[in-house]
Amino acid sequence: MRLNLKIWRQAGPTNPGKLVDYVAEHVSPDMSFLEMLDVVNESLTKKGEDAIAFDSDCREGICGTCSLVVDGVPHGPDRGTTVCQLHMRRFRDGETVTIEPWRAKAFPVVKDLIVDRSAFDRIIAAGGYVSVNCGGAPDGNAIPVPKVAADAAMDSAACIGCGACVAACKNASAHLFMSAKVSHLALLPQGQVERRARVLAMVAQADSEGFGSCSNEGECEAVCPKEISISNIARMTREFAKAALTGA
């Protein structure tokens, strides 16, 4: 396959960026999208040009590190997958493909296709945890958890924090990410002690980072590689209202 690529190049956070044209040749349909970029970078390196900077780690859809907008869609056209799981057989020979970084005030561009997502880390640090005393691990069955609650908590905990929800939202909202974290802890007995303080702190931190409000249009759910449900946002809204009213 031969593909025409339009790739966002930006030297640094304060530098202007632009789309630059490249040609990817001898692309196998069995390659992943990131492997295709590796081939392009190898060609650039051989010519003495600066390689395209992009994030990747596990390349198995687990870590959420890969973060590309492909033809206007975070993680590309395949539903329920990360961009590292996107394969080149999804594209046609000779097709033009546009590749951009996440677009959000809270995710500043570091270089090219890499953005700084440490805002998510600060939201988690604000309250996305359960405080416990250090010591031996308790028995797994010491605290009974109803199966319905356990299943719902696991569905929410599946969030990998990639930031696709932010990139897809016209307001750059982090509500799906936050609500997944709030929900999976609020549904478990271990998370009850800090339940109200947690949601207030996490929402306040998200606001301070510059994330926008939820538009309630569902773009976040549509591009989420783990298909996290927007019902979590409704749960987080209820949690926040209760916490705000009780002054927790």
Q: What are the pLDDT tens digits along the chain (248 aa)?
A: 999 999 999 999 999 999 999 999 999 999 999 999 999 999 999 999 999 999 999 999 999 999 999 999 999 999 999 999 999 999 999 999 999 999 999 999 999 999 999 999 999 999 999 887 656 766 767 788 899 999 999 999 999 999 999 999 999 999 999 999 999 999 999 899 999 999 999 999 999 999 999 989 999 999 999 999 999 999 999 999 999 998 75
Domain 118-246: top CATH class: mainly alpha
Helices (H), ranges, 89-145: 118-127
Question: Residue 245, CB half-sphere, CA atoms under 13 Å: how many?
Answer: 6
Helices (H), ranges, the chain: 33-46, 118-127, 147-157, 164-168, 175-186, 195-209, 219-223, 231-246
End-to-end distance of the chain based on CA atoms, in angstroms? 59
CATH architecture, domain 3-110: Roll (3.10)
Q: Measured over all CA atoms, what is the biggest interatomic distance in the chain, rounded to whole angstroms?
A: 64
Instruction: Give per-residue burial for 11-30: e unless 16+ CB within 10 Å, then b.
Output: eeeeeebeeeebebeebeee
Which position has the token pair 């028995």?
139
Domain ranges of the chain: 3-110, 118-246
Phi (first) and psi of residue 59, to 5 degrees: 55, 30
The pLDDT of residue 134 is: 59
* Non-local CB neighbours of 57 within 8 Å, separated by 6+ positions: 63, 65, 66
The H or E element containing residue 90 is none
Tokens read off for 84? 């590292």
Dist CA 179 CA 214 (whole Å): 11
Q: Is there a contact between 196 and 246 (Cβ–Cβ < 8 Å)?
A: yes
Give the CA-trace dihedral at 62, 219, 121, 52, to 10 degrees: 70
Ramachandran region, residue 80 (left: φ > 0; alpha: ψ -120 to 50; beta: rest):
left
Q: Provide the 10 A C-beta neighbour count for residue 144.
A: 7
Structure pTM?
0.92
